[in-house]
Amino acid sequence: MKILIAFIITIVVFIILVLFFSSEFWGNLEHKALDIFFMTRGAREVSNDIVIVEIGDNTFSSLKISWPFPRELHAKLIDNLENAGAKQIIFDIEFTEYSNPYSDSILAATAAKYDNVIFSGKMLRELTMVGPRQQKISPIKDITDRNLDWGSVNISADNDGFVRRYEIFQEMGDKRVFSIGALSYALGEGFSDFEEELIDKSWYFWIGNNKIPKVSMKGKSCLVNYYGPRKTFTYYDFADVIDDSTYNVPTLDLDQYESFVQNEDFKDKIVFVGATADELRDIFNTPFMSATKQMMPGVEIHTNFVEMVRRQDYLEKFSLFKYYILFIIAAFLIFLFNSRFKPTFTLFSTVFLIIIYLIFSYYLFKEKSLIIPILEFPVLLVVIYVLGLVIQYIKTANERKFIKHAFGHYIAPELVEQLVKDPKKLEYGGAQKEITILFSDIRSFTTFTESHTPKETVSQLREYLTAMVKVTMENKGTIDKFVGDEIMALFGVPVYLENHALWACKTALAMRVRLNELQAKWKKERKDPFEIGIGINSSFVTVGNLGSEQIFDYTAIGDGVNLAARLETLNKEYDTKNKIIISENTLKMIEDRLIVKYIDEVKVKGKTKPTKIYELIGIKKEV
């Protein structure tokens, strides 16, 4: 039953947490945790096959011209890069608006001389009165008329404004516009018909034999496995590359371009050309932004993607279905585990498991390029811990309430408080303990009931039992049970009591005194008084919650209990004056404190040696 309840609680907690984990707020937290993993891993080595020609602040200082540059300048860049042996040239600069016919034709004609130049366009998404609308912004007609390659430069950010994914293509109707990064890889691999080569299947894109994990099953993007912060790749200044003897750039060293050629800086390289100047606003937040405080130019995001695809160095998300199956199993087991230990231990175990999980998550990210939810499991552990505390609090409160209800009428208040502080004393099962047992019984009660109405009997019996219970509790005894008119009381359990034999004897004498008071009262009320007998024995007996799991029954059993009950009946046989008989065991424990009278030796069931019994007269200090 407990396991079933634990499983139901686990499922409820799981459903609530999954709903929370689906929120935008939580998604942003997971993104930030992933960013920390990127920054912890730091920059990685990249190949020399991809470089960037930047149009940055130094470019404007050198050229002394404003943006946009004359397009013959870009044409010159193409010629110089081709002459330097570039394998591929990709412009992350949009030539989508006309400048002057001469410049446009020079740029298109220059690119047409070579078969390895990729231009840029984009897809615009607009919200209109009739719904969302997409518009394809292509390069100028001079470029498209020559069937020159071009791709999309769209970069999409997550809800927090950080770029962590890369869109492989954009859709417009049944047509696809591929990103410049995807187009660069496909053309570099010799795929002439990229539309046919790209297969969108389930959780992956396939480009030939290259399997690219998707962010979502129906999505068009993959995660970018960034190689580092801004300028992880090699940068060259635009002005330096066009600096040669045929294109005079004032203030520049005319030998700069020639040194590029001699050093083979661009030979067999994939060259991305893009704006990096802040004023051109083609810069984005990436996972390394928090550490470096530098935004990354869009051109380097495309570069990261191409490097990643060429190396097949992908980040892949672990299956959420498998993760949540493991999530439920782990939550269930941890919940059961925590319920068996103290909060202090579970706190340390929770912190330990969180640390181990975070280390394991980082290991998978760094060594296996596998992403599992970073914060979900730690939150689960915290929730289970807090839930355990709440359940433990409720359980403890119920235990205290039960203890006070179960024992409040039968045990002294100070003993009840000790039980409340340590409920384990009442756990199911028995233990051998040395205690003192007291039995008290009304003499000839059957005859009394026959001569009185039930109402009279119950009224007088209640008055008697109430008085005896009060006396017992005042002397730190525990009322075990009532069997008709018989009282069974225990001393020394469930809370340890020093000199429990003495307290039992005090109780017996106090019972006699209180009974005498009741007898005097009953005589005045013209009620028939009755007499009692008391038996006391000290012994090792089995004590504990000996009931079923459904019914609580804290009691004592054993030969020692049976002897105490027998001693009570012997009062009539020996016609004791005080009606209190104690065993030899009880006397030995407090012999120096008691005034007793030897009665006899009696045989005890299960023992060969007879036991001496005594009549209790009083306690020495009270004489």
- Distance separating alpha carbons of residues 310 and 188, to the nearest angstrom: 10
Residue 623, pLDDT score: 44
Residue 102 lies in a domain: yes
Residue 491, pLDDT score: 94
Residue 262, pLDDT score: 73
For residue 283, the Cα-to-chain-centroid distance in whole angstroms is: 37
Considering the domain architecture, whether residues 290 and 367 belong to the same structural domain is answered as no
Which residues lie across from 118 on neighbouring strands? 90, 149
Residue 148 lies in a domain: yes
Burial of 294 (0-12, 13-18, 19+ CB in 10 A): middle
Q: Would you say 274 and 150 are in contact if contact means Cβ atoms under 8 Å apart?
A: no
Which of residues 367, 396, 425 is at a domain's end?
A: 396
Considering the domain architecture, whether residues 214 and 155 belong to the same structural domain is answered as yes
Residue 391, pLDDT score: 77
Q: Would you say 32 and 350 are in contact if contact means Cβ atoms under 8 Å apart?
A: no
Considering the domain architecture, whether residues 81 and 130 belong to the same structural domain is answered as yes
Residue 189, pLDDT score: 86
429 Cβ partners below 8 Å, 6+ apart? Answer: 544, 545, 546
Residue 31, pLDDT score: 92
Cα atoms found within 13 Å of the Cα of residue 39, Cβ hemisphere only? 15
Strand 198-201 relative to strand 175-178: parallel, antiparallel, unpaired? unpaired
The encoded tokens of residue 254 equal 């005319």
Burial of 272 (0-12, 13-18, 19+ CB in 10 A): buried
Residue 389, pLDDT score: 81
Which ranges of the chain have pLDDT less than 50? 251-252, 623
Residue 251, pLDDT score: 46
- Distance separating alpha carbons of residues 396 and 423, to the nearest angstrom: 8
Give residue-wise pLDDT tens across range 200-259: 777 888 888 888 998 887 788 899 999 999 999 999 999 999 875 555 555 445 566 777
Considering the domain architecture, whether residues 306 and 350 belong to the same structural domain is answered as no
Give residue-wise pLDDT tens across range 254-288: 566 777 777 788 999 999 999 999 888 889 999 99
Considering the domain architecture, whether residues 13 and 51 belong to the same structural domain is answered as no
Q: Would you say 365 and 30 are in contact if contact means Cβ atoms under 8 Å apart?
A: no
> What pTM does this model have?
0.68
Residue 489, pLDDT score: 93
Give the domain CATH number at 547.
Answer: 3.30.70.1230
Which of residues 316, 348, 363 is at a domain's end?
A: 316
Residue 402 lies in a domain: no
Residue 405 lies in a domain: no
- Distance separating alpha carbons of residues 4 and 32, to the nearest angstrom: 37
Residue 200 lies in a domain: yes
Domain, as residue range, for 446? 411-622
Considering the domain architecture, whether residues 119 and 87 belong to the same structural domain is answered as yes
Considering the domain architecture, whether residues 520 and 383 belong to the same structural domain is answered as no
The encoded tokens of residue 565 equal 């009950």
Residue 52, pLDDT score: 96
Residue 403 lies in a domain: no
Nearest alpha-carbon partner for 108 in 84, 67, 75, 83: 75
Beta strands in 95-233 (DSSP E): 117-128, 131-137, 149-152, 165-167, 169-172, 175-178, 198-201, 204-207, 210-213, 221-223
Q: In terms of DSSP H, where are the helices of 369-488?
A: 376-407, 413-421, 445-450, 454-474
The region that residue 161 occupies, defined by phi over 0 for left and psi between -120 and 50 for alpha, beta otherwise, is left
Considering the domain architecture, whether residues 278 and 355 belong to the same structural domain is answered as no
The secondary structure element, H or E, covering residue 237 is strand 234-237
Considering the domain architecture, whether residues 195 and 256 belong to the same structural domain is answered as yes
Considering the domain architecture, whether residues 328 and 309 belong to the same structural domain is answered as no
Residue 223 lies in a domain: yes
Considering the domain architecture, whether residues 268 and 381 belong to the same structural domain is answered as no
Number of domains composing the chain: 3
Residue 612 lies in a domain: yes
Which residues lie across from 178 on neighbouring strands? 169
Which of residues 316, 347, 373 is at a domain's end?
A: 316
Considering the domain architecture, whether residues 103 and 155 belong to the same structural domain is answered as yes
CA angle 97, 99, 105 (to 5 degrees): 100
